[in-house]
Amino acid sequence: MNYAWVIDQTKCIGCHACSTACKSENDVPLGVHRTWVKNVEVGGFPNVRRHFAVLRCNHCADPPCVHICPVSAMYQRADGIVDIAHDRCIGCKACMQACPYDAIHMDPSDDTAAKCHFCAHRVDRGLLPACVVVCPVEALVFGDLDDANSRVSRIVGSTPVTVRRPEQGTRPKAFYVGAHQATLDPLAAVHENAYMWSERRPGTAKDNSHAFSVWRFLEGNGHHAETTAREMGGTSRSSRPPRDRMPKARVAYDVHHEITWKGKVSAYLWTKSIAAGAAFVAAVGLIFGSGDAGQLFGTAAPVIALVFLAATGALLVADLKRPERFLFVLLRPQWRSWLAKGAYIITVFGGLLTLWLAFAILGWPVPAYFLGATALAGAATAVYTAFLFGQCEARDLWQTPLLGVALLLQMLVAGAGALAIASMVWDTPPNAFVLLRWIMVGSLVGHVAAVFLGEVVARHGSSNAAAAAHVMTHGTYAPLFWTGVSIGAVVPVVLLMASGSPGVIIGSAVLSLAGLLAYEHAFVMSGQSVPIS
């Protein structure tokens, strides 16, 4: 048994009966949607045609939402249906970042994730999904893809079909017949400030503050014409029509779900970098004989690391829609999820820091092997987010192979900076200042290089990544991005190269930490600012 959709857009009349049936059957609250009909107007007056596409969960054969869920709340049934156990969901919203189709939303009635589940309660009783029953033109076909005699199998086997965003590798099982590319490609049509029946809500992936400029950017650079066709499995570049002959397209109606990872996630990256970096830099300093074990590196470092690690945990719990369930991550982990793995990495790191502080309080020397283990745990704490973001299939900007290196460099910037500021309170020998100065210089230079290679200079692998990078470097979040790079990195490097005095090191540390936070927020928000439906 392998259930799938065939959606015949040559028959669809855009009546929205499927949307209303879904809401009625599943008690879907106002303001969120499990299925909807996207309207796109293609062409120029008087030769304009409106095209429809019924959008919803694709029930992927390789569902990234299932892989990223830390508590197995999102799961795949034996019959291929991807469903949600609402009593397990912690509201981390990771599934929304993993879904490349914008098919998941947070249900305001119980603060858990929700989406189309093929009306599983009806299917289990031998009935068809509600949307299939009400479609007046039989544009929606539901059935078993493994049954060669089913209507779904016959259509897929004999009729040209396409799927949404095949480049994501999720193997979606919503097959479209006759759908116009402008309806399936999220960046093929321009998103203006209002749809046919509604204005766009601020704070969404289709917020007018950047969506229109993104579309113009892709058009102007030819990125959409070439890369998008390749991603959609369309014609090659050599057979594409000239740019001035390509029809224009405008979205007349679509559904947009809110950006879900905001300031708390940006701050979590920042506090985690400080915690990991303070421990790593101090451990390296102690192993190689810089600093006094009873002063900045020996006592202040584990204190700083524990305080900011606690702040990291508090931010993670506060960002959950169901924070009272946060222990599910540790008690009911789903081991493919880097959210679950990260929770255990942070827990181990916190335990090692606690032991380090106990050594310092008792006045015992800290063994080099223990410091080395703590440094490795700190590095793992900093870097695991690269693997977590790698599971966020919807956010191509976060898929950069340089992200792990960038997080390590940010860890060094944050750790050295935090220790430099702490030197105002703790006794710090001169050789410790020397170490902090050159760690900051090297890591800041590396950070700027990674940023420029990854987000400014590089040719991005997809139109989604290119659009998100444009939002970050030239759009809504450009002031934060360039502030973080210039005042937060370039200026401190110039100051540190000019002088190694404690005052300059401390001042540079303040600038670098502020700049790092600005950059983190620009990176997190920009990745979510590109339409994916």
Sign of CA dihedral 206, 210, 211, 214: negative
Find the mean pLDDT for residues 442-461: 87
Model pLDDT, residue 151: 95
CA 366 to chain centre: 39
pLDDT tens digits for range 325-363 = 999 999 999 999 999 999 999 999 999 999 999 999 998
Find the mean pLDDT for residues 455-478: 87
Model pLDDT, residue 247: 60
pLDDT tens digits for range 355-412 = 999 999 998 889 999 999 999 999 999 999 999 999 999 999 999 888 999 999 999 9
pLDDT tens digits for range 427-449 = 888 889 999 999 999 999 999 99
Cα separation of 478 and 457, whole Å?
A: 15
User: Is-contact 6 155, C-beta < 8 A?
Assistant: yes
Model pLDDT, residue 198: 67
3-state secondary structure of 425: coil
Report percent pLDDT > 90 for the chain. 75
pLDDT at 98 over 90: yes
Model pLDDT, residue 204: 55
Taken as a whole, the chain contains a residue count of 533
Instruction: Name all domains of the chain by residue range, CATH numbers in brackets.
Output: 3-253 (3.30.70.20), 263-527 (1.20.1630.10)
Model pLDDT, residue 452: 86
Closest alpha carbon to 102 in 232, 259, 213, 240: 259
Model pLDDT, residue 417: 97
Stated pTM of the model: 0.90
pLDDT tens digits for range 142-193 = 999 999 999 999 999 999 999 999 999 999 999 999 999 999 999 888 877 7
User: Is-contact 472 393, C-beta < 8 A?
Assistant: no
Model pLDDT, residue 294: 57
pLDDT tens digits for range 190-244 = 877 777 666 665 555 544 445 445 555 555 555 443 344 333 333 333 233 333 3
Report percent pLDDT > 70 for the chain. 89
pLDDT at 55 over 90: yes
Find the mean pLDDT for residues 238-254: 59
pLDDT tens digits for range 9-53 = 999 999 999 999 999 999 999 889 999 999 999 988 888 999 999
Find the mean pLDDT for residues 62-71: 98
User: Is-contact 243 384, C-beta < 8 A?
Assistant: no
Cα separation of 17 and 80, whole Å?
A: 25
Q: What is the dihedral of CA 15, 17, 20, 22, to 10 degrees?
A: -130
Beta strands 3-8 and 174-177, pairing class: parallel
pLDDT tens digits for range 281-320 = 999 999 987 545 558 999 999 999 999 999 999 999 999 9
Find the mean pLDDT for residues 43-71: 94
Model pLDDT, residue 480: 96
